[in-house]
Structure 1
Amino acid sequence: MKAFRFINTLFVLVFASAWALGQHVSFKSEANRKSLAVGESLQVGFFIQAEGTDYSIDSPMKYPEHNGFRLVGENKTQHVEYVNGKGLIQDGIILIFTPEREGKLRIGSARIVIDGKAYTTKPIDIEVSKSSTSALSNRANTNQPVFLQTNVSNTNPYINEQVGLTVKMYSRDLGLLNRKRNFRQGKLEGLSPKMVTSRPETIKQEMVSGKPYFSEEIAKYNLFPQREGRIEIDPFSMDILVSGIYGTEAYEIKSNPVVINAKALPEEGKPVNFTGAVGDFKLKTSINKKELAVNESANLNVEISGKGNFNTIIVPEVNTPKNIEKYPPKKKNDFKAYEDGMQGSVSTEMVMVPEYGGDYTIAAVEFSYFDPEKEKYITLKSDAIDLSVDGLTANEVKNTTDDLDLGNHGESTQNNIKTTVSELAEDVKNGNGKWLWTAGGLIAASVLGLFLLRRKKDESNELEEVEQTVSNESKFVRKVNSLIVKESIVASAINVSTDGKRIIKSKLDTLQQNIHHPDFKTFFQLQEDLLCEIGMKYSGTDLANFSDYSVGEKLVQCGWNQELVEEWKLLLNKARQAKYSAISSSNEDLTDVYFKTEKLVNQFIK
């Protein structure tokens, strides 16, 4: 309904201008599109706009002529805006048409009488092209007294672009809406589904093919195509309890099949740091303190918020300056599937501790995503963060250590001794013999002192050399250990340890034990945990950076078969989908799911 939100705003502005000219009531029409294919839907809104509520409708709106179109539904709408303190009321009706032939068609003028005055809308010309396969397959049989209708918001999305899917039940008998049972979901292969759970359960009246129906929304999903090309969504079905000769019988109704043609994301202009995020997002960085002392911690937060596919988002890593120690970030997911799409945020919080004083700058981070509405890649860049750390800088600490060197002190003492000996020798030449013994004693004492001082200095130098050697060896050992750790981390991306495989087998055994659990959601929760464990172990990805897209890419890069990775994705998506489903599964179904999971696990751990 984005188009009609735009229409609402547009007509409020139009009416505001009309009000300035002394007009108090207007009647307008607007279509959500001017071109479509046979079988696709067209929505045309007819709106009354008035200042305040002091108007009366003398006769109902006369529907426009619509040759070549079939009227399949209608919705009422009301909108209130305040301009300069005065209320603007917009009442209207939205008619839903489907074209029956191609060519240049027209939606005629609608007519209404308000306060004794007739108002007429302008006709709207529509260009209808040849029907497409997806448009024809997406139509339901609307000639039945009760039927299911599946609608999607977009039949030509990009990979990972959000698509809304709605399943509605239509019935001419209001009582049948209370007799529905056993809703069964169609296959959603090639799609990552997120079920909308916070749906208002409301019953509406709609016109379908010129006949009145009661309608109720049965299920709503946010779908994300995972591959390019044609994706078929099988019909949804459910049972209706009807009275028969032998009592109450279950009558199955099915919705129309739906076809989606997913487009690959363009290669042109794709940023290097793009990880698959599709939607409309914002990037924000923040820190809890910009002034702190040495060895005092600060928390840096990076948040990506907006609307779109959050499962493919990887929060960018923050690079800190030298002399600032950072710890692994903690990830927080705060998004949810709403009526109009998945919205929320993904964020990471990282603890930093400065080792020396001074001024530091935390470099800006970048995040790239694809905007399907603008059909281009967008790169967001955060602001750099300046830190002021109170304490000795690294250079000041180094200079303080250098000042403790005794080398200069020994050289100064040696020069003073030489000066004293020269003065005593001159006194002896001048006949001052009484100083001879004193001079000799001083010379001997000075020589002895110089000898002891040099020895101490040599010992000090030797000690410093030993300490420096130990320090260098320690640094070397730390580097070697670091390399060993890094190598082990890289190796673990392909070669999982025995303990890791034991954990996976234990989770598989637990899954088998819960096949007959009374709550089927427990089984699928365990299955999801098991599949996530496999993805993390065999791709070398931690939980903070886990996403279906990135883990799948890493598994392929690590040498795992593409078909095996796709099967892993499919089972994981089905497990998540089943957790939120309102329909239980039979024991045979869960047994089959277990065997598929067991087969996949064995291929990984063999």
Structure 2
Amino acid sequence: MRFLTGIFLSIFLCGALSAQDVRVESSFEPSIMHAGETGIYRFTVSKQESGRNVMAFRGFDIDFSAIRGIPGLQVSYLGPSQNVSIINSQTMVSVSHQFRVRADEAGEFTLPAFPITLDGKSYTVPAATLKVLARSQAAVAAAGQSMQMELILPRDKIYVGESLPVQIRLYIRRDIQVSHLGSEVPVKIGDAFAVSDFSDPAQRQVERNGEIYQEVVWQAVVTPYKAGDYPLVFQEDVYAYAPEQNRGRSRDPFESIFNRIGMRDVQKVSLYTNQDEDLKVLDLPAEGRPADFSGAVGIFRTSQPTVDPTKAQVGEPMTLSFNIEGSGNFDRFSPPVAADSQGWRVYNPEETFAPTDRYRYQGRMTYNYVIIPRDESVTETPEVTFNYFNPDTEKYVELKLPPRPVTITPPPPGQRPNIPPPTTANQPATSTASRHPELLPIKTTVTAWGQSMRPLFLSPWFLGAQVVPLGVLVGLALTRRRHNRLLTDPRYAREVRARKLLKPRLAAARKAATSGDHAAFYAEAQRVIQCAVGRLVDQTSEALLADEIDALLTARSVDPAIRKQTQDFLHAGDALKFGGLKRADIDLPREMSRLETLATQLMKLS
């Protein structure tokens, strides 16, 4: 159930709580609305304690049957939000759970009190009442039309991992005087989507239903974490001056002066994007998916590759370069795959991304591959293939970058074994006169010709010398056996490749943690997990998505704690990038230790 999933994934409160320290509140926002409009029901659990040690609840149990069983009131769970503030060494921790509510008929709806259990102790969420007015009540309805907020989506469905541009539009009627907004940008409610940085707001005056409004538009990019139907709701608080005509005449002579200089009452109005239907999030289709799928979702094009230099000797490095341009999830896909070639050694590319917008949704990715020719027989560079999923056509697209012609020459003399030419019959014979005597003169005195009369073949160094060729033969046999096993046993080959890649991945993560580069650390952490889990299946590890990894771990009955930790690492990079996680809250050395332990546990799976 989405209700329970959101709760278990995101509740962060203090440990060691006592009943008298916990405060539970509930409310509707707004508490009065019109039939057919959408509001928010929220209950909040908060705790204040001394110190800065904030831990998670060890147990949290909620019965939602009371919330879902109100006739005439539609209720759907949006997700949690949490807040931690520290003032004068006092830590206030609170968690709120939001529900979208809507009633199509006028009336008064009361959500009764219901129990929750925190760390084995029972608490009660108090009752809350919502008053829904009929649309015929024009006075209230007119006030409700003074401010509105809308979410503009390019389409009503999105794929897991896809980056989708959206607009949030705020409309304020011209006669409404605004003091300020509650936040510089709208706040996302729920945990099913990651959101990029927002654009600077654009403002203009527009006409709607015969009225003139001030329109404020923010743009952003959203990326879903998982498949399913989820609401995408944003909130913005508007603080507006109370209308002067609604204020009674006061006997205070100073009040009129304060009104004239702008010191009127300020009212807070909470606005929500009115999305009646949940956004459908789809898994990428399995049909037609390339075995080496890069994970790219969007619309892309490639440039013609170039090679520098075009002429080289065997063993000299060359650089193969090309660009990928377009719009999509540039931060989430793997580099294109270079075709295996016996004549080349290809290294992982250097990547450089040049965004053309602030969301990193559009731009150009440049790849530079270092390639080294093995022999002079090669005449062209390796073929490179890039694939992606086009969400508009709902099909996979494969782009092949053609090879470039090159000229490879042999290496200079001395860099290969130099075998002397054999002796021929035409070679002149050595002069007899220059030859040394064939017999040595007879010795007339005894001299020490050696230390021992022991036969040569019994000497230790002689026996040791015979072991060397034997060791070489054994080593060659083992190497040959390992090579054959790599060719015939895919599972063993994946295991060897994973162990070979895991060490540099962990080293790169450790380097990022030491330098305090949060984004690089979580990117490497994701690759470590893909590498450790990808060896279990016949699929490119870099293309594994979070849901696929979780399914593999579930099928092997992996401890839920390990599965949760795995998902936390996979989603942390996006949460950090799109604002769900703050760098100040992250202890990178501790995260590195957790990653090493997790990698060891995942490598033990079979």
Task: Give the structure-2-normalised TM-score.
Answer: 0.51
Spell out, residue by residue over 1:75-128, the C-alpha distance to the aligned partner (whole angstroms, 9 max, x if none).
xxxxxxxxxxxxxxxxxxxxxxxxxxxxxxxxxxxxxxxxxxxxxxxxxxxxxx
After the TM superposition, which residues 514-525 of structure 1 pair with which residues of structure 2 at under 5 Å, given as runs?
Answer: none
Contact kept, 8 Å, 1:496 with 1:538, in 2: the verdict is no
In the other structure, the counterpart of 1:225 is: 224
Q: Distance in 1 between matches of 2:521 and 2:435?
A: 83
In the other structure, the counterpart of 1:170 is: 171
Q: Distance in 1 between matches of 2:186 and 2:587?
A: 20
> Would you say 1:292 and 2:293 are equivalent positions?
no
Q: Distance in 2 between matches of 1:397 and 1:495?
A: 32
Kindly tell me: are residues 311 and 500 of structure 1, through their superposed partners in 2, closer, same or farther at Cα, counting changes over 3 Å? closer
Kindly tell me: are residues 365 and 468 of structure 1, through their superposed partners in 2, closer, same or farther at Cα, counting changes over 3 Å? farther
> Would you say 1:155 and 2:166 are equivalent positions?
no
- SS of structure 1 residue aligned to 2:362: strand
In the other structure, the counterpart of 2:91 is: none
Kindly tell me: are residues 267 and 491 of structure 1, through their superposed partners in 2, closer, same or farther at Cα, counting changes over 3 Å? closer
Residue type of the alignment partner of 1:572: G
In the other structure, the counterpart of 1:534 is: 525
In the other structure, the counterpart of 1:253 is: 270
Kindly tell me: are residues 379 and 495 of structure 1, through their superposed partners in 2, closer, same or farther at Cα, counting changes over 3 Å? closer
- SS of structure 2 residue aligned to 1:186: strand
- SS of structure 1 residue aligned to 2:526: helix
Contact kept, 8 Å, 2:297 with 2:390, in 1: the verdict is yes
Spell out, residue by residue over 1:375-434, the C-alpha distance to the aligned partner (whole angstroms, 9 max, x if none).
22211111112210234599x998x944x144x43x6679x89xxxxxxxxxxxxxxxxx
Aligned partner of 2:388 among 350, 358, 369: 369
Aligned partner of 1:276 among 261, 272, 295: 295
Contact kept, 8 Å, 2:531 with 2:542, in 1: the verdict is no
Q: Distance in 2 between matches of 1:485 and 1:305?
A: 34
Query: Structure 1 or 2: larger helix share?
Result: 1
Contact kept, 8 Å, 2:176 with 2:240, in 1: the verdict is no
Residue 261 of structure 1: how far off its partner (Å):
0.9
Contact kept, 8 Å, 1:235 with 1:255, in 2: the verdict is yes
Residue type of the alignment partner of 1:571: A
Q: Distance in 2 between matches of 1:548 and 1:413?
A: 66
Q: Distance in 1 between matches of 2:315 and 2:529?
A: 37
Q: Distance in 1 between matches of 2:203 and 2:195?
A: 25
Q: Distance in 1 between matches of 2:591 and 2:316?
A: 49
Which deviates more from structure 2 when the two are superposed, residues 162-171 or residues 551-560? Answer: 551-560
> Would you say 1:185 and 2:204 are equivalent positions?
no
Residue type of the alignment partner of 2:202: T
Residue 573 of structure 1: how far off its partner (Å):
2.0
Give the gaps of 5 or more residues in structure 1: 1-37, 40-139, 418-440, 450-464, 511-524
Residue type of the alignment partner of 2:224: P
In the other structure, the counterpart of 1:335 is: 355
Q: Distance in 2 between matches of 1:264 and 1:142?
A: 42
In the other structure, the counterpart of 1:145 is: 146
Residue 170 of structure 1: how far off its partner (Å):
0.9
In the other structure, the counterpart of 1:575 is: 576
Contact kept, 8 Å, 1:232 with 1:257, in 2: the verdict is no
Contact kept, 8 Å, 1:154 with 1:164, in 2: the verdict is no
Q: Distance in 2 between matches of 1:553 and 1:486?
A: 17
- SS of structure 1 residue aligned to 2:392: coil
Spell out, residue by residue over 1:213-260, the C-alpha distance to the aligned partner (whole angstroms, 9 max, x if none).
12111x321123332220112331223142488954351321224321
In the other structure, the counterpart of 2:285 is: 266
Contact kept, 8 Å, 1:274 with 1:368, in 2: the verdict is yes
Q: Distance in 2 between matches of 1:160 and 1:392?
A: 47
Q: Distance in 2 between matches of 1:324 and 1:502?
A: 31
Residue 189 of structure 1: how far off its partner (Å):
2.5
Contact kept, 8 Å, 1:367 with 1:379, in 2: the verdict is yes
In the other structure, the counterpart of 1:430 is: none
Q: Distance in 1 between matches of 2:363 and 2:473?
A: 50
Residue type of the alignment partner of 1:154: R
Residue 577 of structure 1: how far off its partner (Å):
1.2
After the TM superposition, which residues 207-606 of structure 1 pair with which residues of structure 2 at under 5 Å, given as runs?
Answer: 207-217=207-217, 219-243=218-242, 247-258=264-275, 259-284=278-303, 285-319=305-339, 321-322=341-342, 324-337=344-357, 342-354=361-373, 356-391=375-410, 401-402=418-419, 404-406=420-422, 408-409=423-424, 490-491=498-499, 528=519, 530-540=521-531, 562-578=563-579, 601=594, 604=598
Give the gaps of 5 or more residues in structure 2: 1-35, 38-140, 248-262, 440-465, 487-491, 533-539, 602-606
Spell out, residue by residue over 1:352-378, the C-alpha distance to the aligned partner (whole angstroms, 9 max, x if none).
344554543223121222222222221
Kindly tell me: are residues 599 and 298 of structure 1, through their superposed partners in 2, closer, same or farther at Cα, counting changes over 3 Å? closer
Spell out, residue by residue over 1:497-533, the C-alpha distance to the aligned partner (whole angstroms, 9 max, x if none).
99999889x77xx9xxxxxxxxxxxxxx865455345
Say how many residue pairs are matched: 392
Kindly tell me: are residues 250 and 161 of structure 1, through their superposed partners in 2, closer, same or farther at Cα, counting changes over 3 Å? same
Q: Distance in 2 between matches of 1:498 and 1:572?
A: 16
Contact kept, 8 Å, 1:332 with 1:348, in 2: the verdict is yes
Q: Distance in 2 between matches of 1:359 and 1:531?
A: 39
Spell out, residue by residue over 1:151-171, the C-alpha distance to the aligned partner (whole angstroms, 9 max, x if none).
222112333344222112211
Q: Distance in 1 between matches of 2:506 and 2:411?
A: 48
Contact kept, 8 Å, 1:500 with 1:537, in 2: the verdict is no
Residue 331 of structure 1: how far off its partner (Å):
1.8
After the TM superposition, which residues 36-51 of structure 1 pair with which residues of structure 2 at under 5 Å, given as runs?
Answer: none
Residue type of the alignment partner of 1:230: D
Residue 444 of structure 1: how far off its partner (Å):
12
Contact kept, 8 Å, 2:174 with 2:212, in 1: the verdict is no
- SS of structure 2 residue aligned to 1:179: strand
Kindly tell me: are residues 500 and 172 of structure 1, through their superposed partners in 2, closer, same or farther at Cα, counting changes over 3 Å? closer
Q: Distance in 2 between matches of 1:250 and 1:493?
A: 59
Contact kept, 8 Å, 1:206 with 1:215, in 2: the verdict is yes
In the other structure, the counterpart of 1:433 is: none
Residue 550 of structure 1: how far off its partner (Å):
5.5
- SS of structure 2 residue aligned to 1:531: helix
Residue 266 of structure 1: how far off its partner (Å):
2.6
- SS of structure 1 residue aligned to 2:221: strand
In the other structure, the counterpart of 1:58 is: none
Residue type of the alignment partner of 2:233: D
- SS of structure 2 residue aligned to 1:238: strand
Kindly tell me: are residues 255 and 314 of structure 1, through their superposed partners in 2, closer, same or farther at Cα, counting changes over 3 Å? same
Residue 269 of structure 1: how far off its partner (Å):
2.2
Q: Distance in 1 between matches of 2:511 and 2:310?
A: 43
Contact kept, 8 Å, 2:171 with 2:216, in 1: the verdict is yes
